[in-house]
Amino acid sequence: MTVDPSNTSVDTPALIETTREANAQVLAALGSLRTPVPTCPGWVIGDLIRHLGTVHRWATAAMTAAAPTPFDVVQPPAADIADTDLAGWFTDGAAAVVTTMDALSPGAPTWHPFPAEQTTDFWPRRMAHETQMHAIDAAVALGRTPTVTAAIAADGIDEYLDVILTRLLNSGRATAPSGSLHLHCTDTAGEWLLTPGPDGVDLVREHAKGDAAIRGTARDLWLTMWGRHAVAGEVDIVGDRAVADAWTAIGGN
């Protein structure tokens, strides 16, 4: 996929603050660890906490080492850990990842396993969107209406297309649909065209016609592309519905 891996419409301090605020939203779910998470089938909130806390610790280790860091460098808590100990474990890791990002030198070399530039600017963006998406998952599990600003959601769409979708396609875990897709935010700036071709998928950020188009708020488009269809609001699909469905079925895989 042809992308600009440095592209982001949200500055680094705002991304770090998003992680901090999303962590607080997840912390609000620590009293409901056995509640199912509808957007993550098979998970309860305790599983979400273990996953996100492990991601935070792994990212902190990778940022600190600035060298290849296997995900299993972090050992998740035991299944029978006391609720209060799990809460403390998550809280400590959440604080550490924010503190570590705050101390990064902008543009300095780093390491990560994603198809994006190997500089420290990558980490605040990845952690903001990972943490915010799971904060939304936790809110849904608790019966609350998930909230996210249009600016963060639009940048989340861009990060999904830049980083997550690219990684899935490059690894063979997903296959690009045969038709092109246009995405259009209705509440903030943000348009993208995905066009498959012999050399992969080309991504451009412009108003253009695709075989299918999906229009909606940035929040609803972000949730839709990540496969959170049940909690996304209504989006408008025009053109080839099968093409749109094929792209949105990829999700986070």
Residue 253 confidence class, pLDDT cut points 50, 70, 90 = low
93-135 residue pLDDT tens? 999 999 999 999 999 999 999 999 999 999 999 999 999 999 9
Instruction: Note the residue count of the chain.
Output: 253
Q: Compute and round to an integer the Cα radius of gyration of the chain.
A: 18
**What pLDDT, on a 0 to 100 scale, did the predictor assign at position 178?**
93
Average pLDDT taken over every residue of the chain? 93
Q: What is the spatial distance between Cα 68 and Cα 59, in angstroms, rounded to a whole number? A: 11
CB-CB contact of 93 with 57 (8 Å)? yes
Domains of the chain from N-terminus onward: 12-141 (1.20.120.450), 176-248 (3.30.1050.10)
Indicate whether this model's pTM tops 0.75: yes
Q: Is the pLDDT of residue 173 over 90?
A: yes
Closest to 138 in 3D by CA, of 42, 14, 250, 43: 43
136-155 residue pLDDT tens? 999 999 999 888 999 999 99
Closest to 187 in 3D by CA, of 159, 155, 219, 234: 219
Q: Is the pLDDT of residue 7 over 60?
A: no
Q: What is the spatial distance between Cα 111 and Cα 84, in angstroms, rounded to a whole number? A: 33
